[in-house]
Structure 1
Amino acid sequence: MKRILLFLSFILLAQLQIFAQETYSVDGQSYSLKTEVDGSLTLLWNTIDGDYRYFAKKGNTITELKNSKTNGRYQEEFKEALQLLTVDNPVHTDKVNLTLSSLREYVNTYNKQVDPSFSNERPSIKLSARLGIFAGVSNAIFTQNPNNTLLPVAGIDFELIDEVKLKRHSVVLRLKQTFGNDEFQYNATQASLNYRLKFVKTETLDVFLNTKFVSYTYSSRDDFLLNDGTLGSDSGGDFTAHGIFGLGADYKLGNGYLFFTYNDIVGIGLDSHDSFPVDFTVGYKLSL
């Protein structure tokens, strides 16, 4: 499994491209903005406080593109701003909207008129990755845990994200170790492949549904109840394709993300032994 993880990391790093993002000062305010189009006229944007904000940069001047609402009508100030910025090579603003795709097309058109050699080809996929460590507790509801004992867990997450078309989706390889104690002598090493749907996504916070759809678990226990009523030992591995659901959240903190997951809440076709799921982990991940 370690070799597989290293191989995936190598492939990802060979293809990794990160959106350009810098800090700009606009009307006395500092904003961290992504570069969508870089040319004679540059298009900048980001989600700020949950709202999409767009800016056009020409020379050293940065103008915010706005569309305020007065008495129920949109004022479309961004069209006048674009007309002023492109007065040297006018581009009609009749059909332009205050959306990223529409503004991108408009800015590309202007840049092409100014410089026929201009090109802003967009890749169909931009992979990024995050690597994190976590720790927590679990009552391992999908194995026999007579006293519902909480056990410590720890591990790593390796997350792949497409930053172009699938920003709300990711695939996660999770390696998780469960540690037994004197009360419940159960140890397990699990490698699982997970899919995450980020149904809440903002500049600083993602909230997601996690689906574990395949896993391999090697476990051992020293207090297994045998058919004759005595205690014995048992160990072995199990490869399972299933649907186990959980919830989680990523919060941007510093150069990475603080993340929290509530794991193994419910599993399709799996016996939870009538136990309420207690499986929480918290950790920190960095972008690679």
Structure 2
Amino acid sequence: MKIHTGEKPFECKDCGQRFFQNGHLKYHMRIHTSEKPFECKDCGHRFFENGHLKRHMSIHTDEKPYECKDCGQRFSVNGSLKNHMRIQCKGCGQRFFKNGHLKYHMRIRTGEKPFECKDCGQRFFQNGILKYHMRIHTGVKPLEYKDCGQRFFQNGHLKYHMRIHTGENPFEREDCGQRFFKNGHFKYHMRIHTGENPFECKDCGQRFFKNGHLKYHIRIHTGEKPSECKDCGQRFFQTGHLKYHMRIHTGEKPFECKGCGQRFFKNDHLKMHMRIHTGEKPFEFFSEW
């Protein structure tokens, strides 16, 4: 009944930890007293619990009571059997505790993406990733930063945003001293120093330092345009291109010139406009007489 009520009447006087049963308290007290009442008669090694002694005795007797039902291999310790029973990937030999973990691993190897977004057709390895993606379409942002009220799709995005307020940049490049608030940004920056472009297009051999850049590039070869405008049906390679296009329908012009108040669809358009005020002439015409 004590388990159901949550009552723990037996208290350790040394540290205050409480227990359901007096026997559990006795085992716990051996941590403080270092008492090891169970002794191996063969080598004199001592143990806190009788169960530990029994497992130890298998070293001397060569007894292996734990058997794998799949292959018949035997083990002296149950933990060794559990490690052996991990599910193995036949392709690379990596082992997993759960069949579900193996399934996710296999999808990475095969490229299988069984979970499809019904709104845009994008596919994913895991159902959980699809759920996060669906928030883009539904606009649900369950996580809120209390200081500024800004809301986010994922907990990771909230953590990154908090670093804007705190100024924390935990990832530092020793060579140049530049710091980053995301580990991913740090990794990409490292490739500037190393010149590494690990992602290669199999069709043309062009290489990229971001996997996302490769994905966009692949669409040039396949002609895939997964992002569709619901108003006119026009399709685009990238979501960013769709966002620019949607401003044609909505009339949104988020970029404003502080000098004259004129607004623009794209930041690039604002930059070009600013040259009117600054007098900057980046392209100079040369003529020969």
Common fold by TM > 0.5: no
TM-score, normalising length from structure 2? 0.20
Taking CA–CA contacts closer than 8 Å with sequence separation of 6 or more, which of the two structures ends up with the larger relative contact order? Answer: 1
The structure in which a higher percent of residues are strand is 1
Who wins on radius of gyration, i.e. which is larger? 2
TM-score by length of 1: 0.20
**Hey, which of these two has a bigger chunk of helix by percent?**
2
